[in-house]
A and B are shown apart, each in its own frame.
Chain A
């Protein structure tokens, strides 16, 4: 698993494009929202948790199709599938690499973008915490969607349609924690649900992802 993870990270850094693009997209979404809804900071502050979570989710989506597509096109996916590495481990490594290059930077950048939306200071901690817990699930689900569409020439749009409904529970619990945190309410229940989704996705989805890759390579 480690070699694949390191290779994908190296490729993400060298390949330009992928790395940082999601972050830039996140920034643009956050900048666009005040133009759409108006500059009143009370309003922005109220919707900030939702905007930041939806923005993070869409930014995650942006780089999903690269997870398996590049390896499929240059033939390395065939070679990896015949290597000693189980496809389940490969799926996990790919999701981990995607999270490290997308989810983690988004999590770290979120507090700064929160400033732009007048996110209450009491919510900043909860925003970072939920993104840190929730974005791994987004990467795992995304890798599953990417595996389903890996054989398709123009799978990008289809990938979004497949993956976004699967993101709904993560989004609901993630944003709920931040909203409650901002209002000083109890956050334990949604936070545990969010963690549960990530843990469940970690346990189950690599198998589904590997199955989908196997089917597509047949």
Chain B
């Protein structure tokens, strides 16, 4: 299974951000995506998750195998942490939320409305959702934002457990997660040449 991408091009709005993206991540492996702000990490992850259609190239994986986690936590402030988790468990057809809550030490918080959680607690709640999806490919966009060192460790454990089960993880992050086997890929090498506008059909000189 795994994930294999060849010559992928991604656009944001109508501007080409990335092109010629090539990488393979076999089962049980993780790939850390690095690159300066605006390099296109989010664009790439949204494309891999099937939210943005690729502008070129091929993806071998089924986007229905991807569990995506964005910058935003996607939590409902009026619902409790437990209700939030249970909602996603039902959407994904997975049973008990206890293991997911355990992995991120959320059991004391399950009855607390999400609006009274701290930023780090919300993040943990959002990450706990991933383990409920039972999907083999994780595409994570800056998952460790607002997490303290201890919880970064718990998150790394969750990723390791996911990989041990044959899962794949693509993680855009700037910090060291302590995942020894993970490969690091600098995506700034795939930045679309020049300014990313030469694919614009309206830049043809003959139009002037």
Contacts and interface: CB of A to CB of B under 8 A. Distances in A.
A172 to B, nearest CB: 38
A81 B83 CA distance: 20
Contact of B51 (A2, A10, A74, A81): A81
B99 interface: no
Interface stretch (B61-69, B177-185, B186-194): B61-69
A14 B76 CA distance: 11
Interface in B8-45: none
Interface residues of A, number: 21
A7 B79 contact: yes
A85 B83 contact: no
Contact of B79 (A4, A14, A83): A14
Nearest to A7: B87
A139 B129 CA distance: 30
B166 interface: no
Interface string A75-101: 110111111110000000000000000
B70 A79 contact: yes
Given A14-B78, A80-B91, A82-B50, A75 B68 contact: no
B66 A74 contact: no
Contacts of B83: 7, 10
Nearest to A70: B76
B49 A74 contact: no
Contacts of A85: 91
Contacts of A4: 91
A218 B51 contact: yes
A56 B90 CA distance: 34
Interface string A185-218: 0000000000000000000000000000000011
A85 to B, nearest CB: 6
A17 B161 CA distance: 43
A85 B74 CA distance: 16
A74 B73 contact: yes
Given A7-B79, A10-B79, A11-B78, A82 B66 contact: yes
B53 interface: yes
Contact of B74 (A14, A75, A84): A75
Given A7-B87, A15-B78, A75-B70, A82 B92 contact: no
Contacts of A81: 51
Given A10-B79, A217-B51, A84 B72 contact: no
Nearest to A8: B76
B74 A76 contact: yes
B76 A7 contact: yes
A218 B90 contact: no
A81 B51 CA distance: 7
13 contacts: A7-B76, A7-B83, A10-B78, A10-B79, A74-B77, A75-B72, A79-B68, A79-B88, A82-B63, A82-B68, A85-B91, A217-B51, A218-B53
Interface of A: 2-4, 7, 10-11, 14-15, 74-76, 78-85, 217-218
The 6 closest A-B pairs by CB, nearest first: A75-B72, A3-B90, A76-B74, A75-B74, A14-B78, A82-B68
Interface of B: 46, 49-53, 63-64, 66-79, 83, 87-88, 90-93, 129, 133
